A and B are shown apart, each in its own frame.
Chain A
Amino acid sequence: KNQVEQSPQSLIILEGKNCTLQCNYTVSPFSNLRWYKQDTGRGPVSLTIMTFSENTKSNGRYTATLDADTKQSSLHITASQLSDSASYICVVSESVNDMRFGAGTRLTVKP
């Protein structure tokens, strides 16, 4: 069983709307949590990295939150754009060589 679960599996929203993607994990001990954006046919691009002591981190229209007590993270996208259409991957790690990847949420933004 994967130790990083993402939901929803896929999501369709209209351009300009906000959305929130979820990541639940059971990885322990926990060191940091990352969110990546992966466009179709491309490599992942880092959006945010949070250590266990951080609750929130923003990168432009992307805001990640972390609750280390409940082992949950969310990625909120504000004022979505067509270019936000991609897979968003949550990665939880104890160390650089013990990174557990979620299966990703496939986001489609429609005009």
Chain B
Amino acid sequence: DTAVSQTPKYLVTQMGNDKSIKCEQNLGHDTMYWYKQDSKKFLKIMFSYNNKELIINETVPNRFSPKSPDKAHLNLHINSLELGDSAVYFCASSPRKGHTDTQYFGPGTRLTVL
């Protein structure tokens, strides 16, 4: 069984649209994350979410909003998509929010904005 899953794997959309990426983890972890990997392969953390505590990287535009219906899910909603949003988005989870906890990553969602 897949530990951290994301859907869709690929997403192609027009500028200005609103889209969502779903993430689910079946590991029973308390903390979930969203990362963005740009074309130069740099990974940057966008959000971490633990027990309804949301910590946002201050560089993330407010067009991006994480939504967690329950502990096993952290979806990423993006409003008014821009060309620069094109990237691979990774969801991850860890047992707690401790900074030495191993993070388990999903397979990624490649978003292309035309």
Listed in ascending order, the chain A residues whose CB lies under 8 Å from chain B are 2, 31-32, 41-46, 49, 51, 87, 89, 91, 93-97, 99, 101, 103-104
Given the known A-B contacts A43-B106, A49-B102, are A103 and B4 also in contact in the complex, defined by CB atoms under 8 Å? no
Complex contacts, B40 vs chain A, CB 8 Å = 103
Report the nearest B residue to A93, measured CB to CB.
B99
Contact of A96 with B98 in the complex, beta carbons under 8 Å? yes
Q: Which residues of A contact B100 (CB under 8 A)?
A: 31-32, 49, 51
B3 shortest CB reach to chain A, Å: 10
Residues of B in contact, count (CB < 8 Å): 26
Q: Are B43 and A44 in contact (CB under 8 A)?
A: yes
Question: CA separation between A42 and B9, bound complex, in Å?
Answer: 10
Q: Give A30 Cβ to nearest chain B Cβ, in Å.
A: 11
Contact B42 A97 (CB under 8 A): no
Q: Which residues of B contact A (CB under 8 A)?
A: 4, 31, 40-45, 48, 55, 57, 90, 92, 94, 97-108
Q: How far is the CB of A102 from chain B (nearest CB, A)?
A: 8
Q: Would you give the shortest CB distance from A92 to chain B, in whole angstroms?
A: 11
Once bound together, how far apart are the Cα atoms of A45 and B6, in whole Å?
16
A-B contact pairs, 30 of them (CB 8 A): A31-B99, A32-B99, A32-B100, A41-B108, A42-B107, A43-B4, A43-B90, A43-B92, A43-B105, A43-B108, A44-B90, A45-B105, A49-B100, A49-B102, A51-B100, A93-B99, A94-B99, A96-B31, A96-B48, A96-B94, A96-B98, A97-B48, A97-B55, A97-B57, A101-B42, A101-B43, A101-B44, A103-B41, A103-B42, A104-B41
> Could you tell me if A46 and B103 are in contact, using CB atoms closer than 8 angstroms?
yes
A16, B50: Cα distance in complex, Å:
43
A96-B48, A97-B57 in contact; A46/B42 too (CB < 8 A)?
no
Contact partner of A42 (CB less than 8 A), chosen from B43, B48, B92, B108, is B108
Whether A96 pairs with B42 at a CB distance below 8 angstroms is no
